[in-house]
Structures are given as structure tokens and as C-alpha cells.
Amino acid sequence: MSFSSDVKKELCAIECESDCCQRAEAYGLLYFGRAFGKHDISLLTDYDFVAERYKAAIRFLIQKEPECVLSKSGKTTISVENGDDRMDLLNELGYTGSETSLRILTSNIEYECCFGAFIRGAFLSCGIVTDPKKEYHLEFDVAFKNKSRDFSEIFEDFPASPKQSDRNGVNIVYFKDSEQIENILTVMGAQVSVLEFINEKIFKDVRNHVNRKVNCDNANIRKTCQAAAQHREAIEKLIQSGRFDELSPELKELARLRLDNPEMTLSELGANLTHPLSRSGVNHRLKKIMEIADKTSK
């Protein structure tokens, strides 16, 4: 089972508390189905439980059982075969059937409580949410441009603003922000799924943090080694040219310590001197050694 199907399954188990919300969900289910108009009202779905919810929506609106056809691909197609039933459904939802384009009628999403129910219906019909293990993405595949535009406007007062794009002629209304996806899941009533989503996000954040820390440590080790190699080169040059003895006792001690301990950081070198020195003090002395070595080679 995918995360998307888990969410849909959870949503289909919700019992609608009031008629107004049941109507809003039914509207979302029908409006965003495969077709919604006087010539065709139908839904194509992968899931039996969504098919059942769609049938229940039609029953709720016109007290009739829709025809159910199982297509060859294994998907379920539910369609309202009778033209009079289709007209009844359209009329029930405030359409005359002669509209050239069926805009969203907010009269079917009457109260604040109905918003989530409407989004739930829409999601059951045309929504997909990607597993948060992979990426943060929730989308509604809307058949027509004007429908996707209307749908985006529905979110105006909601703390999530969708983006729109066109994929092979299908209008996509989508969300990429994890918090916005959490808000959508919450308002639809997917309480279990939203917790799963948040858990996965926390797990991902912690893992990223650890990875960043490890990468950072590796980078620091690399830097330490590179610097140590430069110091050793300079010190060996001084020894070979016979000028090592010209160094002051403090510089000599540090040079020997550096040669013997290439893995030590500057602070560690400083701590191991007879008279302990700060990191910047060590840095200063090493620079001096390298300057003297530099003059030697000229």
C-alpha cells in the first residue's frame, strides 16, 4: 500500500458529522471525478473503498444506486448511466445542465466546517500524496483549466497556497511545502496520516543533521591534514638546509611536535607544549616557521 492509498483509506473511514459536510464531500467527489456533466458523470479509481464512497455520495444526493462497471485494467469505473439521474444530480448541486463550463459553486460548501469535507472529496477523486520518505508533494489532477483555477481560489483563506502547472494536458494543483501538506491532511481529517507524515519529517531532519555533521567533521579533518602536510614540508626543508638550529627554542619545540603528530589540531599542539599556547598562538608560530623556511628556499 502506498502512502496515498493509506490516506485515502483513512479518509473513507470518516463518518460525516453533518448533512452540510456530507453534501460538500459528495460535491468534491463528483465534481473532480473523471466526468461531471449532463452527458457523463463518472469516476475512475484504483480503490474499492473510494468507489464505495462515490456511490454513497450519489445515494446521499439523489437516493439512487449508480451503475458500477469494472474496467479491464483492474480499475473501477462508476458511472451514472441514466440521463435523468445525471440531471437530478446536477440540479441537486445547483446546476441547470446547460452551462458551457461548470464552475465551482460555493453554495455547496456553505459553512466553514464544509471546507475540509469538500477538499476530502476532491482528494479522494483526483488527489495524490507522495510518501514523505521520498519527497513532499501533494497534488490534485484537475481535468480543466477553469476548474483548477476555481479550485486554487478556494484556498484563498486557508494557510496553504497551491501552485498550478500543466502536465500532458492535465492541470495540476499542487503543494510542495511540508507544512502546507500537513495543513491539507489535517483539514481533510487524516489525523493518523498527518502524524505519520510529521514523524517521517522529524526522522528526515535528524538524519540530515547527522549527515551534515559527519560531512563537516570530514571536511575539518581534511583541512587539518592539509595544513599539517604544509607544516611538515616547511620543517623538513629547514632540517635539510641545516637551518633548523637557527629556530628559537619555542619554535623548535613546536616544529618537533608537529613533525611527530601530523594528526593533531592546532589546539592540541598548543596543549602539548611545555608552556601551553592557544590555537592562535600556535598558528602564529607555525606561520613564522613557514616564513623562515620560505626564505631558505630563495
CB closer to Zn ion, 21 vs 142: 21
Site for Zn ion in 252-281 (CB under 5 A): none
**Least gap, CB of 19 to Zn ion (angstroms):** 8
**Least gap, CB of 135 to Zn ion (angstroms):** 32
CB closer to Zn ion, 113 vs 229: 113
User: Strands across the sheet with 76-79, in order?
Assistant: 35-36, 41-45, 76-79, 67-70
Contact 117, 69 (CB under 8 A): no
Q: How many Å separate Cα 203 from the centre of its chain? A: 13
Q: Quick one: which of 7, 12, 21, 80 contacts Zn ion (CB under 5 A)?
A: 21
- Considering only 20-28, 77-85, 229-237, 258-266, which stretch makes contact with Zn ion by CB under 5 A? 20-28
Cell numbers for 266, please give them.
592546532
**Least gap, CB of 184 to Zn ion (angstroms):** 17
CB closer to Zn ion, 20 vs 271: 20
| Rounded CA separation 228/175 (Å) | 50
Q: Give the number of other Cβ atoms within 10 Å of residue 282's Cβ.
A: 24
Q: Quick one: which of 14, 20, 143, 290 contacts Zn ion (CB under 5 A)?
A: 20
Q: Beta strands 41-45 and 170-175: pairing type?
A: unpaired
Which residue, chain included where needed, has cell 491532511? Answer: 185
**Least gap, CB of 147 to Zn ion (angstroms):** 22
CB closer to Zn ion, 21 vs 277: 21
Within 8 A by CB and 6+ apart from 239, the residues are none
**Least gap, CB of 114 to Zn ion (angstroms):** 4
Site for Zn ion in 68-127 (CB under 5 A): 111, 113-114
Per the document, the length of the chain is 298
- 188 scored as a contact of Zn ion (CB under 5 A): no
- Considering only 17-25, 70-78, 95-103, 158-166, which stretch makes contact with Zn ion by CB under 5 A? 17-25
Q: Where are the alpha helices (DSSP H) in the chain?
A: 3-12, 19-31, 48-62, 83-92, 112-126, 145-154, 178-188, 191-240, 249-260, 266-271, 279-297
Element (H, E) at 127: strand 127-129
CB closer to Zn ion, 20 vs 264: 20
Size of the residue set binding Zn ion (CB under 5 A): 5
Contact 262, 229 (CB under 8 A): yes
CB closer to Zn ion, 106 vs 267: 106
CB closer to Zn ion, 15 vs 245: 15
The residues of the shown chain that bind Zn ion, judged by CB under 5 A, are: 20-21, 111, 113-114
